[in-house]
Amino acid sequence: MAKKLLLKYKFDLETINQVVHCIGCHRFKRGEAPQSEEAKILFDADKLDAIGATGIGRAFLFAGEIGSKLHNDKNIDIYKTEEYSKEDTAYREFALKLIKIKNKLFTKEGKRMANERHRFMLNFFHRLNKELNGDL
């Protein structure tokens, strides 16, 4: 879609290919890893938006939209639960996905920002677990 649009507005082929590369690999589990600095920046920006306070907020919003609980039952193995089910809580999203993001970034600044956001998530869910367990 981007290529078609950029051709319409007469961008040069090199620019078009660079833009298409950035878009195509910003979620590289579906394709190739980012190669250019621009692609790495876009990838990192996309991932940073998924962690920290914003990521936690989005995880709870999504869990609410699908009718999930506040937290998983202590007796449920979250590794055996299904995505997009009532067991797909914000905590499950954190424990199975968000916790891994900081180690996937490419740029120095992205890694710095991810480390701080990661610490915030660890502290938040540690506190949530303590409160739900009646420890606080």
The string of pLDDT tens digits covering residues 81-130 is 998 888 899 999 999 999 999 999 999 999 999 999 999 999 999 999 99
Residue 13: per-residue pLDDT = 95
Q: Where are the domains of the chain?
A: 40-132
The string of pLDDT tens digits covering residues 40-74 is 999 999 999 999 999 999 999 999 999 998 888 88
Residue 1: per-residue pLDDT = 92
Query: What is the fold, at CATH topology level, of the domain defined by 40-132?
Result: Methane Monooxygenase Hydroxylase; Chain G, domain 1 (1.20.58)
H, E, C per residue of the chain: CHHHHHHHCCCCHHHHHHHHHHHHHCCHHHCCCCCCHHHHHHHHHHHHCCCHHHHHHHHHHHHHHCCCCCCCCCCCCHHHCCCCCCCCCHHHHHHHCHHHHHHHCCCHHHHHHHHHHHHHHHHHHHHHHHHHCCCC
28 pLDDT band, cuts 50/70/90, is low
